[in-house]
């Protein structure tokens, strides 16, 4: 919410992707007709208005059953101090002009907005719990995780090894410059013996009204560039990354790596090398596993897939990596032959059909190439 009229504007509303973490696996609130759970956030500091509306509710006295306590479930997520009536909320909006982003400015960029017909400016900041007011702001911000990340959990903010990276939009209201929250990322700095750290991306969320505009890529690249300048950082990883995050990371890392000498077309055609691993880690803090994906994407770009020899060489190169888990199964099978009775062995062999493995391998390869092509298309447009 930026203006009071936004409260009545359905276009500013977005719905949760998940509610199972609050309402159970069935995502059901029992005992109401026409139930609406309304959560409004002021765009910048995320002060909250919480209301529940319904047309009717079951009554223990007459219906012998009790409706779910929806209010308590929501109160467990949103921090205390929220508004319950609109007037209080609107009066808080008047103070929004005093809200400024927390922490240190890392990056400013602009995105052309077709609807507004102009470029809109965004900024990325790095914050921590020593910033005045940030702890309370973060409590409100992290409530979005429950609705948009499937396995979300709140973090221990008293642990000083957390870093917070925030994206804000700059906008004008009555001649003043205000800031709206766009999204954020939390990163945990793990210790690596003897004197390094390994930052691990924990949570990343771009709020739905801003998705599809490239903010995730700007945020991830800015975070990479921030850590790249630190001599104590070994490499950057992610905790249990989603499919969408992996696609985003592929794009950002390929964009960063494409100008390194070790990824020149001539060297790509000679195969994956230790030189690539070393240079990507030392200059860009990218680990070996992610460097290998970058190599495969850039080699695909350098390969003429219409040329039978080049295409075959590329396919074999990628499949040699993909076959790793299957080779592991073969080693397990050899062990079984030595240890199992014949009838047990037959049972295990039925589960490891070689033809099926070849089919799965080909399927995995085709899916990868399809994903890689999408990364290259996006790169060509960047």
Tokens of 30: 């029992």
Active site residue 136: no
d(CA 284, CA 305): 29
Q: If we measure between CA atoms, which residue out of 325, 326, 324, 253 comes closest to residue 295?
A: 253
Q: At what angle do helices 288-302 and 243-257 cross, to 10 degrees?
A: 70
Rg (CA), the chain: 26
d(CA 153, CA 142): 9
The strand pair at 196-206 and 237-238 is best described as parallel
d(CA 345, CA 196): 47
Tokens of 338: 């030595």
Which residue matches tokens 């994407």?
297
Contact 172, 43 (CB under 8 A): no
Length of the chain: 382
Bond preceding residue 312 cis, omega within 30 of 0? no
Torsion of CA 8, 9, 12, 14, to 10 degrees: 70
Please tell me which residue in 150, 239, 363, 377 is annotated as part of the active site.
239
Q: Which residues are catalytic?
A: 239
């Amino acid at each position: 919410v930026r203006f009071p009229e936004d409260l009545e504007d359905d276009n500013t509303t977005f719905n949760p992707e998940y509610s199972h973490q609050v309402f159970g696996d069935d995502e059901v609130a029992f005992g109401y007709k026409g139930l609406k759970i309304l959560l409004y956030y002021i765009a910048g500091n995320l002060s909250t208005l919480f209301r529940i509306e319904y047309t009717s509710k079951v009554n223990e006295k007459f219906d012998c059953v009790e409706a779910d306590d929806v209010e308590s479930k929501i109160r467990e997520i949103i921090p205390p101090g929220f508004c319950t009536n609109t007037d209080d909320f609107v009066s808080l909006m008047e103070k929004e002009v005093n809200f400024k982003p927390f922490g240190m400015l890392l990056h400013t960029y602009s995105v052309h907005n077709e609807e507004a017909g102009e470029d809109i400016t965004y900024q990325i900041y790095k914050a921590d719990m020593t910033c005045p007011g940030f702890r309370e702001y973060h409590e409100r911000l992290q409530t979005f995780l429950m609705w948009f990340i499937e396995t979300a959990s709140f973090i221990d903010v008293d642990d000083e090894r957390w870093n917070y990276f925030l994206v804000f939009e700059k906008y004008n209201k009555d001649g003043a410059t205000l800031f709206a929250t766009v999204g954020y990322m939390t990163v945990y700095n793990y210790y690596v013996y003897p004197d390094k750290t390994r930052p691990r991306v924990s949570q990343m969320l771009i709020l739905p009204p801003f998705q599809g505009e490239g903010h995730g890529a700007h945020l991830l690249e800015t975070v990479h560039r921030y850590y790249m300048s630190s001599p104590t950082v070994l490499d950057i990883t992610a905790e249990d990354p989603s499919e969408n995050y992996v696609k985003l990371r592929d794009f950002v890392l390929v964009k960063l790596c494409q100008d390194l000498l070790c990824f020149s077309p001539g060297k790509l055609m000679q195969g994956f090398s230790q030189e690539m691993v070393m240079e990507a880690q030392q200059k860009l803090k990218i680990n070996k596993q992610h460097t290998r994906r970058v190599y495969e994407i850039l080699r695909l770009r350098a390969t003429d897939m219409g040329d039978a020899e080049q295409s075959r060489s590329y396919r074999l190169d990628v499949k040699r990596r993909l076959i790793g888990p299957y080779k592991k199964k073969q080693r397990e099978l050899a062990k079984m032959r030595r240890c199992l009775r014949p009838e047990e062995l037959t049972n295990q062999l039925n589960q490891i059909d070689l033809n099926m493995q070849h089919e799965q391998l080909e399927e995995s390869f085709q899916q990868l190439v399809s994903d890689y092509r999408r990364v290259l298309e996006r790169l060509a447009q960047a």
